[in-house]
Amino acid sequence: MPRSHYTGLARPSYDHPAQAGVLLVNLGTPDAPTARSVRPYLAEFLGDPRVIEYPRWLWWLILHGVILRIRPARSAHAYARIWTPEGSPLRVESEKLAAALQTALGTAVRGSVRVALAMRYGAPSVRTQIEQMQREGVRRLLVLPLYPQYSGTSTGSVIDAVADTFKQLRWPPELRIVNDYHADAGHIDALARSIERWWSAHGRGDKLLLSFHGIPQRYVDAGDPYLHHCQGTAQRLRERLGLNATQLEVSFQSRVGREAWLQPYTDATVRRLAGEGIRRLDVACPGFAVDCLETLEEIAMQNHDMFVAAGGESLRYIPALNDSEEQIASLGALIRRHAHDWPEFLSDEAT
């Protein structure tokens, strides 16, 4: 018999009680803070055509001829600065978030709902988790990329991974995908309450800076809505906190290469603000669902040192929502809204 191109089940899943599944997807992380572990992770991440839109042959030469010879050691050093006894903060915090959502949904909905976590790059992969959920009887799947603002470089890539997996399944489940939640009222309120709680505990700085991950300007020029979504989140959060344009600014971090990325750049902004006499700068990163390398090392360490060197007193990073009550409540409500008519999510009153 010829070998099939499609993945099936040893026992058809209609023999099992059907359930709904929620797949959270985050960016990913190397398994260890070493160059040997970082190299394959970066190769997968930077090899994604959604992330780097260059001609494939040219980018392959740059990636394998230059970047993967130099950057793994540098990135490993950065990861080592934030690595915990439990492992990568992004993985640890994402797993806590998934577990908390599993508990919350278990008490909030009537039917059986399975919550799982996948990484777009690294392990556990999107394919592995979807196939495992299918084996467990998941027949309705809601995919929630943990990127509040849509970009083709992030959510678009998750959609690609899901589509590639579904193309290989003999009997794919019903599928829904949360495209973005940058303007979701519950999410904005969760961000505001988190910042307010932090201010209540630590006092309020002279200015609040919202630092979003950057993307190349040409992606936005080509139609990526990411900048619009970041501006939308910032405006809604500014209104919710009762701040004006001088009290809250927006910047973009994590640029690489020589081409223009979204501006203003975060590193240049923190230096400018220090030069303008800002003594205590509060920084939040509302594009990151959980804390990771870009928040804990790039902002809380690198940009803190830049700010102090430029004359500031202290740059104070306000943690991501992580597995806070605010995030669990807002994402739980978001999930229920997107899957409200699935049998597992119907309330007793609706039946």
Binding site, annotated residues for Fe(2+):
213, 294
Say if strands 207-213 and 280-284 run parallel, antiparallel, or are unpaired.
parallel
Q: In what order do the strands lie in the sheet with 280-284?
A: 248-253, 207-213, 280-284, 314-317
Q: How many CA atoms lie within 13 A of 235 on its CB side?
A: 7
Give the C-alpha distances (Å, rounded to integers) separating 293 from 76, 285, 330.
11, 12, 24
φ/ψ of 251, rounded to 5, equals: -145, 175
> Where is the binding site, in residues?
213, 294
Taking CB atoms within 8 Å and a gap of at least 24, the contacts of 344-347 are 344/19, 344/20, 344/109, 344/110, 344/111, 344/112, 344/113, 344/140, 345/20, 345/109, 345/110, 345/111, 345/113, 346/110, 346/111, 347/109, 347/110
d(CA 296, CA 82): 7
φ/ψ of 189, rounded to 5, equals: -65, -40
d(CA 86, CA 228): 36
In the numeric block, the tokens 């990151």 are attached to 288
